[in-house]
């Protein structure tokens, strides 16, 4: 998969242009919208001293991506993700920056996992109680997800069906920054099965 099939949108973690899946772009819009709804921990201005809306600019979000590879020494390295192929591992990182002199509370980060990407288990950071995952049902639960089967039994949800991660980050200090990240593998897309042509019915012969 080349850059022509993935939007060139934001720089990678090393500052180079990289390819971001179109739905990851949509996720960034969600992130920005979420940043616009957070509340200040400090009291707001009085009615007698109105001010211009600043919530939308209070927290900015930068989304970056890198391809994760193993170097000759076996250690992880990060490369430009402008060209990717099935099996590649991509790390997505969203950095939140509070551009004000006041703490911001209630910060929530959503990162979509589009079709064609398989979330890698336990790769969300920060993890533990801060992050939850969801399938296309948008019901968020701690990882690993499970689902009920007829008869009351449960089974693990395949990681290929994870479609969203959500972090409850709480308060972002004044002029502070924090980052969330997760990794996903580019899935192999099976070629469509060729459908044999339907034999034509010969016209009836005249008697």
Question: What band does 128 get if pLDDT is binned at 50, 70 and 90?
Answer: confident
What is the distance between the alpha carbons of residues 171 and 176, in angstroms, rounded to a whole number? 10
Give SS3 for 80: coil
Which of left, alpha, beta for 55 (phi over 0: left; psi -120 to 50: alpha)? alpha
Alpha-carbon span 81 to 69, nearest angstrom: 11
Bridge partners of 197, per DSSP, are none
Beta strands in 14-149 (DSSP E): 17-20, 39-40, 59-70, 76-79, 89-98, 104-112, 117-119, 131-134, 146-148
Evaluate whether 164 touches 138 at the Cβ level (below 8 Å).
Answer: yes
Q: Can you give the pTM of this predicted structure?
A: 0.67
Confidence of residue 82 (pLDDT cuts 50, 70, 90): confident
| Under 8 Å between Cβ of 18 and 64 | yes
Does residue 16 carry a pLDDT above 50?
Answer: no
pLDDT of residue 148: 93
Q: Where are the domains of the chain?
A: 3-42+56-186
Residue 168 has pLDDT above 90, yes or no: yes
CA distance 115 to 32: 22
């Amino acid at each position: 998969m080349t850059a022509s099939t993935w939007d060139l949108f934001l720089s990678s973690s090393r500052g180079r242009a990289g390819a971001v899946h179109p739905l990851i772009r949509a996720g960034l819009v969600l992130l920005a919208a979420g940043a616009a709804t957070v509340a200040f921990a400090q009291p707001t201005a009085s009615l007698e001293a109105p001010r211009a809306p600043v919530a939308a600019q209070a927290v900015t979000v930068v989304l970056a991506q890198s391809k994760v590879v193993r170097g000759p020494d076996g250690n992880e390295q990060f490369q430009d993700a402008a060209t990717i192929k099935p099996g590649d591992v991509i790390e997505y990182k969203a950095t939140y920056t509070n551009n004000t002199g006041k703490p911001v509370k209630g910060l929530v980060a959503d990162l979509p996992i589009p079709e064609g990407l398989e979330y890698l288990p336990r790769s969300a950071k920060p993890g533990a109680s801060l992050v939850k995952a969801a399938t296309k049902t948008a019901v968020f639960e701690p990882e690993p997800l499970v689902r009920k089967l007829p008869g009351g039994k449960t089974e693990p949800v395949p990681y290929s069906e994870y479609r969203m991660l959500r972090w409850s980050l709480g308060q972002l200090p004044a002029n502070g920054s924090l980052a969330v990240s997760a990794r996903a593998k580019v899935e192999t897309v099976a070629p469509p099965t060729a459908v044999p042509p339907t034999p034509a019915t010969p016209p009836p012969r005249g008697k």
